[in-house]
Amino acid sequence: MNKLFYILVIIGFAAIITSSCKKPTAPKATITVIGNDKDGNEVYQSGATVVVKADPDTHDEHGNVGHVRPDLDSDEGLYTKGVTGSGGTVSFDFKYEAILRVYAYTVPKKNDTLWGEGAIILKEDETYEETVYLRYSTLQN
């Protein structure tokens, strides 16, 4: 009986220790892009390009804006891009906690652009949800 008690105690401690050592899950983000239809109603914008960047004002050694280290951008999550689906959303997985800028745009007609921006705050074990509202902008020739 004594032997069985000690075995159960050891199994109990082992279960407690292994359950408390849970590895945190990587941060995630879901971006929803909303635009306006021809009648001015808000609609989910499918097919919009979403760009997530670490720091839009950072310059690399060649003077390129927005790339901290081009060789690490996609690996380290400093720069990533996606396209929204039919529900107007796109999801991203990241390696690290961070605060990142979000840009969304679509080009419905030549020289016309719908664009918007926002920010995401990434934390382990969490999915950050951000909504970006597109605005109309005409490019000048």
User: For the chain (length 141 residues), average pLDDT per consecutive 10?
Assistant: 75 71 86 88 92 67 48 56 94 90 86 86 94 76 45
Specify the pLDDT at position 70.
46
Reported as type and span, the H/E element at residue 92 is strand 89-93
140/37 Cα distance (integer angstroms)? 23
Q: Has residue 53 been placed in a domain?
A: yes
Count Cβ atoms below 10 Å from residue 130 Cβ, excluding itself: 18
Print the domain residue range for 49: 24-138
Specify the pLDDT at position 73.
45
Q: Has residue 7 been placed in a domain?
A: no
Q: Has residue 17 been placed in a domain?
A: no
- Total of domains in the chain: 1
125/29 Cα distance (integer angstroms)? 11
CATH value at residue 50: 2.60.40.10
56/79 Cα distance (integer angstroms)? 10
Specify the pLDDT at position 20.
60
**Which are the contacts of 48, defined by CB distance < 8 A and separation ≥ 6?**
33, 35, 83, 84, 88, 104, 105, 106, 114, 134
Q: Has residue 98 been placed in a domain?
A: yes
Q: Has residue 64 been placed in a domain?
A: yes
Specify the pLDDT at position 123.
93
Residue 130 and residue 31 in contact, taking contact as beta carbons nearer than 8 Å: yes
- The one-letter amino acid code at 43 reads V
Specify the pLDDT at position 23.
82
